[in-house]
A = this chain, B = another copy of it.
Amino acid sequence: MPNQDWLPAAVRAKAGERKLKPGETLFRQGDRPMSFFEITSGRVRLSRVDRSGREVVLYIAGAGETIAEASLFSTVYHCDAIASAAATVRAYPKAALLAAFDKDRKAAQAFSATLARQVMNLRTRIEQRNIRSARDRVRHYLSVNAGGDGRSVTLTGTLKDLAADLGLTHEALYRTLAALVRSGEIKKGRGTITLLRGRKV
């Protein structure tokens, strides 16, 4: 789990860990934010309850992700956070963080930079979802995430995870990859996919 490297050491030192049972609440809409969180394992969903009492899921965060960044600048949380599965989270105290940003503008900049990069990544993921064809979606993913050599993509998680990222069922992804392998467009290795040649346009 890559720790939040942009966090000032002083803040990291003050972090507390908390374990959540499935269904347990981390915070509720309207609560006063005391910390923001990094999820070290499990799953936490952010949701709101609509007028008719139904829960509307805003986001499901997994291990390695941070949530409630926005609440650093707000006096209340704008949604609930509930563990979807057993989870452990690291809580970084809001006060310490804001103080660090005040003192050390490098730290504040690092935070902004992280957010800005995240915005770009998310935008790209949305753009990806605008591609209807599974095949082209996978192609787009591979092109965008090709490493330095522009040819190979290292898979972080399982193919099932990737499928979820791409908004495909895992079956659809397997089939699409298989087709691309058959057509000689890619090669699959252990945790790696290599682009062989683009098809003629």
A residues adjacent to B (C-beta < 8 A): 48, 50-54, 56-60, 69-70, 72-74, 101-102, 105, 108-109, 111-113, 115-120, 122-127, 129-130, 140, 143-144, 146, 149-151, 164, 167, 195, 197-198, 201
Of B54, B74, B126, which one neighbours A143 at CB under 8 angstroms?
B54
Contact between A59 and B127 (Cβ–Cβ < 8 Å)? yes
**A to B CB contacts below 8 Å, 7 in the list:** A51-B195, A54-B198, A59-B123, A70-B116, A101-B112, A108-B112, A119-B119
When distances are taken between beta carbons in the complex, the residues of chain B under 8 Å from A69 are 116, 119-120
When distances are taken between beta carbons in the complex, the residues of chain B under 8 Å from A146 are 50-51
Interface of chain A, main secondary structure: helix
Q: How many Å lie between the Cα of A109 and that of B72 in the bound state?
A: 9
When distances are taken between beta carbons in the complex, the residues of chain B under 8 Å from A112 are 72-73, 101, 108, 111-112, 115
Tell me the minimal C-beta distance from A39 to chain B in angstroms. 13
Q: How many Å lie between the Cα of A102 and that of B109 in the bound state?
A: 9
